[in-house]
Amino acid sequence: MREPGERVNPDLRVLGAGAIAHVAGSLAAHLERTEGWLRRFGAREALCRAGRYHAIYGTAGIHAALVPLANRRAVAAAIGNEAEAIVYRYAACDRDRFHPRIGGAHECRFADRFARCDCAVTPAELRDFCELTLVNELDLVATSPQFRRKHRDDLYDLAQRMQRHVTDAAYRTLCATLAAGGSATAGNAS
């Protein structure tokens, strides 16, 4: 783990992501594939970069942080302010509280597990969060049959609630991958 205030090298392997086991191989491979999916679906550059780094602060499901939250400024200097804000939101999400809100009247009340509070998100921030979330799950179902079997019904439900916030390509690919048993590929995910 990096010390607070230390410059952040954006190389995932230097950060240690290659050594962290993940549902779909190493964390580094998953992060690279997530970026690849976002590029395939035509996401803007900041969202693609966020896909590559979306778990560097850890997540509700990944407890290892590659970079401490105290280094947010250094991460922003390395990947850009907009990408870092998306990364923070993804990592900070209290999924148990926030995911059920998506698609409902309170979907713009984000549950931040780091700050231990709810805060407003804009529709654009919600779209970025949903696109990154759906693409993250797509990579997992495309690469892990066990994950796909265990979470299929919940992911269909989540995809339905996120549908109006995500690209048609991401939504259709996730649903088709769930239905087909995981045959989609991200292509070049570097």
Confidence of residue 6 (pLDDT cuts 50, 70, 90): low
Structural domain spans, the chain:
12-177
**CB count, 10 Å around CB of 183?**
9
Structure tokens at 49: 């970069």
Write the CB contacts of 116 (distance below 8 Å, at least 6 apart in sequence). Answer: none
Give the type of residue at 119.
Answer: C
pLDDT > 70 in the chain, percent = 91
In the numeric block, the tokens 């964390």 are attached to 27
Q: How far is CA 39 from the centre of its chain?
A: 14
Cα–Cα distance for residue pair 167/23, rounded to 1 Å = 25
Confidence of residue 189 (pLDDT cuts 50, 70, 90): very low
pLDDT of residue 19: 81
What is the DSSP-derived secondary structure letter of residue 140?
Answer: H
In this predicted structure, the answer to whether residue 5 has a pLDDT above a threshold of 60 is: no
In this predicted structure, the answer to whether residue 18 has a pLDDT above a threshold of 90 is: no
Mean pLDDT of the chain: 90
Contact 113, 92 (CB under 8 A): yes
φ, ψ of residue 65 to 5 degrees: the values are -100, 130
Please state whether beta strands 21-22 and 25-26 pair in parallel, antiparallel, or not at all (unpaired). Answer: antiparallel
The whole-number average pLDDT for the span 166-175 is: 97
- Total-model pTM: 0.90
